[in-house]
Amino acid sequence: MVIKELKLRNFRNYTNLELEFSPKTNIIIGRNAQGKTNLLESIYFLSHLKSHKTNKNSHIISRGETAATAEVLISNNHQDGWLSVLLTEKQKTAKIGGRAIHPSKKAKGVLKCTLFSPDDLQLVKGEPSSRRSYLDEIAEMVDPSLAYILGRYSRVLSQRNAVLKKQEKYRGGAVKVLQPWTEELVKLGSQITRWRMLAVEEIKEEFSREYLRISKEESHPQLEYISPLGSLKPTSTLKEIEEIMRESLERRRGEEFHRRTTLVGPHRDDIKITLLGWEARYQASQGEQRSLSLSMRIAQKHFIQKKTGVSPVVLLDDVFSELDLARRKNVMETIIGEGQAFLTTVEPLRLIDFEGYRTFIARGGKVEPEGT
Ligand SMILES: Nc1ncnc2c1ncn2[C@@H]1O[C@H](COP(=O)(O)OP(=O)(O)OP(=O)(O)O)[C@@H](O)[C@H]1O
Ligand SMILES: [Mg+2]
């Protein structure tokens, strides 16, 4: 999959931007605060229908403006088509080939991308929610039905939590009111758990391989899907997971009423990342954490490619600054070379010898091909 053109209007610091890209590597060079990340964010937004930096449209719309648009011309299997998003403070409209898509989230994953960002360290050292988002982001790219299930799950979860929170309102009838929400939670939650568990099983092989390749040292990197349901196995069937989840909810009902929140379900899951058996979250060095998160992203890219047959566009936001030269070279060889990549950097990157790359200079809300 290749982005041929990008047009931005009132998107962050871009009043009006129109660019044509190389189908291979695009290097965006610029000093701090010139709009490098904003450019990648616009591509991420078109892919996920949300930003990786904020949930508020108003943060994205240029200051003083009321609407923003982002459009890309995508080429996939020799077919070209425009994908666009129009943002106002309260609304988001996606269009494919000029036709509006309802609801707009159906356009998620039409443009497939994998973003490597400086915030990726959070994948390793951050809260479990960062690792759950990692999996959900992948799900959105490969499986539209799961994206829909995830959306419904989060609505059911907040309804169920609302009943637990306001239990007194039901004068002893809260258990009964909770019942249909519990059943929905089990139905949706077990599908999410099973999908994620199987995804981690596939992703972890590639992850270990990539880590060893980047770091060239024997450190036995591992990923493991962690669920408070405990006794799950990758071979567990959907029915089995439903049963385990239902039982667990039953067992913890008293505790749920006491703590006024849902204690069982995929919203409590995590991925455990280890090196030589030690939890990387607490013990790995900064460089190791950087390499671990990079390996997770590379594995994500390959997983999307394997599942969809489409090579996602790779967005690399300033990821090289913390890596030593050997690791940089390794990462570049692995990620770049196949498919299209967008790479931002503050300083011109030496040591690169890409084929067919194009360099752009970002300066004060403008991005121009180098040499113009
Ligand atoms: N809604 C907005 N309207 C106008 N400008 C904005 C908006 N949101 C952010 N900006 C500005 O856009 C500028 C560029 O931000 P961006 O994060 O893209 O910089 P960058 O080139 O990636 O810099 P760095 O090298 O520091 O990461 C910043 O000065 C920021 O304040
Ligand atoms: Mg930046």
Specify the pLDDT at position 231. 74
pLDDT tens-digit map of 163-194: 999 999 998 899 999 999 999 999 999 999 99
Domain 1-112+310-372, second-level architecture = 3-Layer(aba) Sandwich (3.40)
Of the listed ranges 69-73, 99-103, 214-218, 311-315, the least confidently predicted one is: 214-218
Nearest CA to ligand 1 atom 18: 35
Share of the chain above pLDDT 70, in %: 97
Residue 262 is which amino acid?
A: T
Nearest CA to ligand 1 atom 5: 13
pLDDT tens-digit map of 104-134: 989 999 999 999 999 999 999 999 999 999 9
Residue 369 is which amino acid?
A: P
Is 127-307 CATH 1.20.1050.90?
yes
Specify the pLDDT at position 205. 96
What is the whole-number distance in angstroms between the Cα of residue 342 and the centre of ligand 2? Answer: 13
Q: How far apart are CA 263 and CA 364, in angstroms?
A: 48
Specify the pLDDT at position 359. 92
pLDDT at 16 over 60: yes
Specify the pLDDT at position 351. 56
Q: Which ligand has the shortest distance to the CA of 31?
A: 1
Nearest CA to ligand 1 atom 24: 32
Q: Per-residue confidence at 333, pLDDT binned at 50, 70, 90?
A: confident
| Beta-ladder partners of 359 | 27
Residue with structure tokens 């991925």? 271
Residue with structure tokens 């010139």? 34
Specify the pLDDT at position 337. 62
Instruction: Please state the domain extents for the chain.
Output: 1-112+310-372, 127-307
Specify the pLDDT at position 310. 94
- Ligand 1 atom, smallest distance to 61 CA: 1
Kindly report the pTM of this predicted structure. 0.94
- 3-state DSSP call for residue 102? coil
Specify the pLDDT at position 352. 58
Specify the pLDDT at position 265. 96
Substitution candidate for ligand 1 out of 8, 17, 34, 51 with most atoms within 8 A of CB: 34
CA distances from 24 to 336, 354, 372 (A): 8, 9, 20
Residue of 96 and 326 predicted with greater confidence = 96
Specify the pLDDT at position 234. 84
